[in-house]
Chains A and B, each alone.
Chain A
Amino acid sequence: MDPEEVKKNAKFLVENLAGAEIPGSAKVSVRYKTLVSFAKVYGITDPKYVGAEEDGIVACHAFANHFTVKALYKLLLGLKLTQDGKERPFLINTAKLLHAGNKYNWEGCVDVKPGDKLKIRGKWGKVWVVEKNMILFAELLVDVKNQNDELVCNVTTNAAVRPGGY
């Protein structure tokens, strides 16, 4: 992609994404087996996270990685934008996408439990370009709620996209 097109796309995305809602939502069904497998990767032995299904367990905090990554791929890969009257995907080349960081906030949230059906929605926070290397940075503000509309986690994800990827 030529540098002028990269600049033009960067300008378009910075001007149009910040603060905008990401259309649609992602859904994740939480299974007992997945929660236990996830916790066991980290050697967690506390029965609160890996106990018997009938005793009731909750997700370990790291499980937030599972639903966040799943949801972000779905929301971002499916995202279509209209630039100069033409439809384009947000990501032109997914190989140029870099995941730069995540912040999980559980204040006022309820636990994730087996059988939960999570609904994940996102909106864009700050979007900016580092002109030196034309890497586009985007902050995504994601809220995750369960089937009872109770908040289970707020996530701020920072994604970076190298030139040619947007």
Chain B
Amino acid sequence: MLQQTQLLGQVAIKKLEVIKKMVKISDFNVGQVIKNEFDQINRDLLRSYAKASGDTNPIHTSDAVAERAGLKGIIAHGLFSFGYLSKLFEDLLNQEKDGKVLEIGVEMRGMVRCGDLLITEAVVTKIEGKKVYFDTKQTTITNVDIKKDEEIVKQFEAGERGYISEKDIAQGLVKTKEVDEGTLTYRERVSTPGTAIIELYE
């Protein structure tokens, strides 16, 4: 049995690469968390997504067009980050042996940008028969700059392009923490809340 605080995602990766152990309904408990993180959102990746998805709106691939639309720089496609949520469950389940994904729903609340760290999490909220229900959320961490003695020693894209708004500050989304080079200012916000249901075979 997995511990309540254990990250099922990590277990799943082990399962796929080494253990090849089946995932069963008895492996789940309410409160367990599955998680993945992705920090390589960049312009090349969004171009690849645009090509693969057929959504070629240039606000996702051209900074000039996005700036003219008042966006200060390109934004990821609304459903781009959904793929990291579905991958979370695809990594967890061998769909022939373990179970299948029944439903995933997302609400698009915040724009995702190049340079963001995207954290995808799913928390088990209910287990009914062979079905496991999750609340999901995708959070973006947007680095702004690093300051030392009030001087900016490193500036990130969000700082250069002014992605952080007064509203973000008013809502308490902009935070600081100490890092090796100084004080890092970053924004943390939930971009995509949602829900998911999977069904196990055993």
Q: Do the two chains bind?
A: yes
Query: In the assembled complex, which residues on chain A have CB atoms less than 8 Å from the CB atom of B78?
Result: 99
Q: Which of B6-58 contact A (CB under 8 A)?
A: 16, 45, 48-49, 51-55
Instruction: Tell me which of A60-68, A127-135, A140-148 binds B.
Output: A60-68
A69-B50 Cα distance, complex, nearest whole Å: 12
A37-B53 Cα distance, complex, nearest whole Å: 9
Given contacts A37-B52, A101-B108, contact A60 B87 (CB under 8 A): yes
Q: Which of B16, B83, B102, B105 contacts A41 (CB 8 A)?
A: B83
- A interface, size bucket: 20 to 34
Q: Which of A96-155 contact B (CB under 8 A)?
A: 99-107
A44 close to B104 (CB less than 8 A):
no
A106 close to B52 (CB less than 8 A):
no
Number of interface residues of B (CB under 8 A): 29
A40-B87 Cα distance, complex, nearest whole Å: 11
A46-B100 Cα distance, complex, nearest whole Å: 15
How many residue pairs bridge A and B at CB < 8 Å? 80
Measured CB to CB, the closest approach of chain B to A23, in angstroms, equals 22
Query: By CB atoms of chain B within 10 A, which of A46, A68, A70 has the most?
Result: A46
Q: Which residues of B contact A (CB under 8 A)?
A: 16, 45, 48-49, 51-55, 78-79, 82-84, 86-87, 89-90, 95, 100-108, 194
Query: In the assembled complex, which residues on chain B have CB atoms less than 8 Å from the CB atom of A104?
Result: 103-105
A99-B101 Cα distance, complex, nearest whole Å: 23
B55 close to A69 (CB less than 8 A):
yes
Q: Provide the A33-45 mask, 1 if CB < 8 A to any CB of B, else 0.
A: 0100110111110
A66 close to B95 (CB less than 8 A):
no
Q: Which of A34, A70, A107 contacts B103 (CB 8 A)?
A: A107
Task: Please list 7 pairs of residues, one from A and one from B, whose beta carbons are closer than 8 Å in the complex, sorted by A's number.
Answer: A41-B48, A41-B49, A42-B83, A65-B82, A69-B53, A69-B79, A107-B103
Measured CB to CB, the closest approach of chain B to A164, in angstroms, equals 16
Query: In the assembled complex, which residues on chain A have CB atoms less than 8 Å from the CB atom of B53?
Result: 38, 65-66, 69
Query: In the assembled complex, which residues on chain A have CB atoms less than 8 Å from the CB atom of B45?
Result: 41
A61 close to B104 (CB less than 8 A):
yes
Query: In the assembled complex, which residues on chain B have CB atoms less than 8 Å from the CB atom of A61?
Result: 86, 89-90, 101, 104
Query: In the assembled complex, which residues on chain A have CB atoms less than 8 Å from the CB atom of B52?
Result: 34, 37-38, 40-41, 66
Query: By CB atoms of chain B within 10 A, which of A48, A100, A103 has the most?
Result: A103
Query: In the assembled complex, which residues on chain A have CB atoms less than 8 Å from the CB atom of B89?
Result: 61
Measured CB to CB, the closest approach of chain A to B89, in angstroms, equals 7
A60 close to B51 (CB less than 8 A):
no
User: Apart from A61-B101, A101-B108, A107-B103, what are 14 other A-B pairs with CB-CB below 8 Å?
Assistant: A40-B52, A41-B45, A41-B52, A60-B86, A65-B53, A65-B82, A99-B79, A100-B108, A102-B105, A103-B103, A103-B104, A104-B103, A106-B101, A106-B103
Given contacts A70-B54, A99-B78, A102-B79, contact A62 B103 (CB under 8 A): no
Query: In the assembled complex, which residues on chain A have CB atoms less than 8 Å from the CB atom of B104?
Result: 61, 103-104
The 4 closest A-B pairs by CB, nearest first: A103-B105, A62-B83, A61-B86, A101-B107
